Structure 1
Amino acid sequence: MSWTGKILRVNLTEGTCAAEPLNMQWAREYLGQRGLATKYFVSEVDPKVDPMSPENKIIWATGPLTGTMASTGGRYSVITKGALTGAIACSNSGGYFGAELKMAGWDMIIFEGRSPTPVYLHISDDKAELLDASWLWGKTVWDTEPALRARHQDPQIRISSIGRAGETGCLYAAVVNDLHRAAGRSGVGSVMGSKNLKAIAVRGTLGVGNIRDPLAFMQAAAAAKKVLADNAVTGQGLPKYGTQVLMNVINEIGAMPTRNHREVQFEGAKDISGEAMHEPRATDGKPNLVTNQACFGCTIACGRISKIDETHYTVQNRPQYWGTSGGLEYEAAWALGSANGVNDLDALTYANFICNEDGMDPISFGATVGAVMELYEMGVLTKEQIGIEASFGSAKALTYLAEITARGECFGREIGMGSRRLTEKYGHPDLSMSVKGQEFPAYDARGIQGMGLAYATSNRGACHLRGYTVASEVLGIPVKTDPLVTDGKPELVKAFQDATAVFDSAGVCVFTTFAWTLADLQPQLHAACDDSFDMDNLALIGERIWNMERDFNNRAGFTRKDDALPKRLMTEPARTGPATGLVSGLDKMLPEYYAARGWTAEGQLTEQTRSRLGL
Structure 2
Amino acid sequence: MSWAGKILRVNLTTGEVRSEPLNMDWARAYLGSRGLATKYLTSEIDPTVDPLSPANKIIWATGPLTGTMASTGGRYTVVTKGPLTGAIACSNSGGYWGAELKMAGWDMIIFEGRSPRPVYLYVENDRAELRDAAHLWGKSVWHTEATLKAQHQDPLIRVSSIGTAGENGVLFAAVVNDLHRAAGRSGVGAVMGSKNLKAIAVRGTLGVGNIADPKAFLQITAEKKKVLADNAVTGQGLPKFGTQVLMNVINEVGALPTRNHRDSQFEGAKDISAEAMATPRASDGKPQLVTNQACFGCTIACGRVSKIDQTHFTVENKPQYWGASGGLEYEAAWALGAANGVNDLEALQYANLICNEQGMDPISFGATVGAVMELYEMGVLTKEQLRIEAPFGSAKALAYFADITARGEGFGKEIGLGSKRLCEKYGHPELSMSVKGQEFPAYDARGIQGMGLTYATSNRGACHLRSYTVASEILGIPVKTDPHTAEGKPELVKAFQDATAVFDSAGICIFTSFAWGLADVQPQVAAACGAEFTLENLSTIGERIWNLERDFNNRAGFSAKDDTLPKRLLTEGARTGPAKGLTSKLGEMLPHYYEIRGWDANGQLKPETRERLGL
Aligned to 2:82: 82
CA distance in 1, matches of 2:6, 2:310: 48
Aligned to 1:371: 371
Aligned to 2:169: 169
Aligned to 2:42: 42
CA distance in 1, matches of 2:109, 2:387: 41
Aligned to 1:256: 256
CA distance in 2, matches of 1:559, 1:520: 35
CA distance in 2, matches of 1:142, 1:389: 31
> Are residues 1:442 and 2:429 paired?
no
The number of equivalent residue pairs is 615
Aligned to 1:138: 138
- Which string of whole-angstrom CA distances, capped at 9 and with x for unpartnered residues, describes residues 195-243 of structure 1? 0000000000000021111110001100110010000000000000100
> Are residues 1:536 and 2:544 paired?
no
- Per-residue deviation at 1:601? 1.0
Aligned to 2:596: 596
Alignment of 1:6-405 (within 5 A): 6-405=6-405
Aligned to 1:484: 484
- Unaligned runs of at least 5 residues, structure 1: none
Aligned to 2:512: 512
CA distance in 2, matches of 1:534, 1:281: 52
CA distance in 2, matches of 1:527, 1:494: 27
- Which string of whole-angstrom CA distances, capped at 9 and with x for unpartnered residues, describes residues 312-347 of structure 1? 111102110000111000000000000000000010
- Per-residue deviation at 1:513? 0.2
CA distance in 1, matches of 2:282, 2:370: 28
- Per-residue deviation at 1:70? 0.3
- Per-residue deviation at 1:542? 0.2
Alignment-mate amino acid for residue 80 of structure 2? T
Regions of 4+ moved over 2 Å: none
- Which string of whole-angstrom CA distances, capped at 9 and with x for unpartnered residues, describes residues 322-378 of structure 1? 001110000000000000000000100000000000000000000000000000000
CA distance in 1, matches of 2:289, 2:83: 34
CA distance in 2, matches of 1:86, 1:304: 32
SS in 1 for 2:564: coil
SS in 1 for 2:526: helix
CA distance in 1, matches of 2:468, 2:234: 15
- Unaligned runs of at least 5 residues, structure 2: none
Aligned to 1:558: 558
SS in 2 for 1:130: strand
- Which string of whole-angstrom CA distances, capped at 9 and with x for unpartnered residues, describes residues 545-592 of structure 1? 000000000000001010010000000000100100100000110001
- Which string of whole-angstrom CA distances, capped at 9 and with x for unpartnered residues, describes residues 28-62 of structure 1? 00000000000000000100000000000000000
Alignment-mate amino acid for residue 251 of structure 2? N
CA distance in 1, matches of 2:439, 2:191: 18
- Which string of whole-angstrom CA distances, capped at 9 and with x for unpartnered residues, describes residues 486-542 of structure 1? 000000000000000000000000000000000110110000011110000000000
CA distance in 2, matches of 1:603, 1:27: 27
The root-mean-square deviation of aligned C-alpha atoms, in Å, is 0.4
Aligned to 2:468: 468
Alignment-mate amino acid for residue 495 of structure 1? A
Alignment-mate amino acid for residue 288 of structure 1? Q
CA distance in 1, matches of 2:324, 2:356: 12
SS in 1 for 2:385: helix
Aligned to 1:569: 569
CA distance in 1, matches of 2:170, 2:588: 36
CA distance in 2, matches of 1:26, 1:97: 24
Alignment-mate amino acid for residue 164 of structure 1? T
User: What is the TM-score when the length of structure 1 is the normalising length?
Assistant: 1.00
CA distance in 2, matches of 1:387, 1:2: 55
CA distance in 1, matches of 2:567, 2:519: 40
SS in 1 for 2:282: coil
CA distance in 1, matches of 2:185, 2:209: 32
- Per-residue deviation at 1:392? 0.1
- Per-residue deviation at 1:303? 0.1
SS in 1 for 2:306: strand
CA distance in 2, matches of 1:289, 1:485: 37
Aligned to 1:424: 424
CA distance in 2, matches of 1:318, 1:335: 24
Percent of pairs identical after alignment?
80
- Per-residue deviation at 1:387? 1.1
- Which string of whole-angstrom CA distances, capped at 9 and with x for unpartnered residues, describes residues 587-607 of structure 1? 110001000101001110000
CA distance in 1, matches of 2:31, 2:570: 38
CA distance in 1, matches of 2:528, 2:241: 32
- Which string of whole-angstrom CA distances, capped at 9 and with x for unpartnered residues, describes residues 256-301 of structure 1? 0000000000000000001111100111100010000000000000
CA distance in 1, matches of 2:317, 2:409: 22
CA distance in 2, matches of 1:472, 1:550: 24
CA distance in 1, matches of 2:533, 2:209: 20
CA distance in 1, matches of 2:325, 2:42: 37
Alignment-mate amino acid for residue 258 of structure 2? T
CA distance in 2, matches of 1:83, 1:215: 45
SS in 1 for 2:422: helix
- Which string of whole-angstrom CA distances, capped at 9 and with x for unpartnered residues, describes residues 367-420 of structure 1? 000000000000000011011000000000000000000111110000000000
CA distance in 2, matches of 1:400, 1:290: 26
- Which string of whole-angstrom CA distances, capped at 9 and with x for unpartnered residues, describes residues 14-35 of structure 1? 0010000000000000000000
